[in-house]
Structure formats: C-alpha cells, structure tokens
Amino acid sequence: MTDHKHYYQAMFLLDNQEVRQKGFNEVRDWVRRTLEKHAISVPVLRLWGEREMTYRVGTRGRATYLLGWLEAAGNSINEAKRELYLVGPVFRCLFLEEAAIPEDELALGIPAIADHELVIPEEGAETDDESDDFSAREEEKVAVGSEEENDG
Amino acid sequence: MAKKESRHFDFKDVEGLQVYMTSQGLLLPAKRSGLNAREQRRLKRAIKQARFLALLPYTA
C-alpha cells in the first residue's frame, strides 16, 4: 500500500434524531474519532447546515450536513466509509478527491457549536399540519354534503 | 487573445446548479446550457453528487 497522501472533501449526512439526543459536538467528535482511527487526518470538520432533503431517505425527511476536509493515504477512506455506514449517526457520506485544502476552509478548523445555535425542527411538524388540513377538508366536505341533503 | 477560463461546478452550490436543470429536475443538454463538453461533464458530475446527498431531486 502506498503512503502517498491525498486530500479529500467529505460531506456527511447525520441523523437529526441522534444529533438532537447527543448534541452536535458529540456526534461530530464521533465522526472525527472514527476517521482518525483509520489514519485519516481531519484538519477541517464543520457544520454545513441543517436542511430538508429533496427526497426521503428511509424515514428521514431532514438531515444535518457535516463538511470535512481530510488528508488520507491508501485504502483508508474505504475502510472508514464501511465503518461509518455500519454504526453511528452517519446515514450517507460522499468523499471527493481534491488537489488541496482551500486556505479559507483550513482557517475554520473544527469549530464547536453551541446547542442553541443549531435548531433542528421536529420531523413530524409538517405532516401534522397536513393531517390537520386534511381533516379540515373532510369536515368541510361533510358540512357541504349535509347541506345538500337538507336542500334535497 | 486571452483564453476563456473553464467553468467549475460545486455540488454544494445548489442554486447555481438548478440554473442548468429543467423544472422536472433533468440536466439541460449542452445545446441549451451553452457549455462546452468539458464543462458539461463537470456539471453532470456535480449534479449527480448533489442528488446523492439529497440536495437536488432525481425527479420533480
């Protein structure tokens, strides 16, 4: 195996439920420890955002996106990816080889996020609204139907 | 004459990628995007990466 180092940009999709339970900093540290276990150097690992996904992945409609810039050698990325998918809060990840780590990204490093800075909306919030709308529409239909019966 | 710089596409730039997609979530052909072959390949790759990360839809 070659010892030649490569630079990678990585994006991790984190399960919102676990981020909410354990806290973002702990989940991020778990990802960092897992990568470092496979001899991957992690100079940058930061929150990219929490957003709604354009399609559902399993039962999840939203995810917390974690962006990292890594330095790794040989087959370590594949080994780390295998472990990330097997256990832990990461349900999807992407590694892209890059020529170098940008200076502005290196300056960010691994910042800690205060708990109040990352607000994760409840997953079922939208569906509850939809069900309310549905039940309201059903009630309207019933009311209209009963009026028609009365007219007839 | 100065050589025109080739465009790069980033999978994180969702709004920038959506410019080159139809309302149904499909990639515009090179004829309509106005990109050269290399740029079109870069765009295709970035869109596929964004789709994998659920930043862009496969179909709309």
Chain B residues with CB within 8 Å of chain A CB: 11-12, 49, 51-58
Residues A80 and A134 in one domain: no
CB contact under 8 A, A55 and B55: no
Beta bridge partner(s), residue A66: A12, A47
What pLDDT tens digit does each residue of chain B (60 aa) get? Answer: 677 788 899 999 999 999 999 999 999 999 999 999 999 999 999 999 999 999 999 987
Residues A23 and A75 in one domain: yes
What's the structural domain count of chain A? 2
Residues A77 and A10 in one domain: yes
CB contact under 8 A, A13 and B12: no
Domain residue limits at A103? 5-121
For residue A12, what are its two tokens?
């991790």
Q: What is the model's pTM?
A: 0.81
Residues A152 and A111 in one domain: no
For residue A13, what are its two tokens?
């999709």
The set of residues, in sequence order, having a beta carbon less than 8 Å from that of A90 and lying 6+ positions away, is A12, A13, A14, A15, A31, A84
- As a whole number, mean pLDDT of residues A77-98 equals 94
What's CA A72's distance to the chain center, in Å?
23
> What is the ipTM score, two decimals?
0.87
Which of A7-39 are b and which e, b meaning 16 or more Cβ less than 10 Å from the residue's Cβ?
bbbbbbbbbbebbbeeebbebbebbbebbeebe
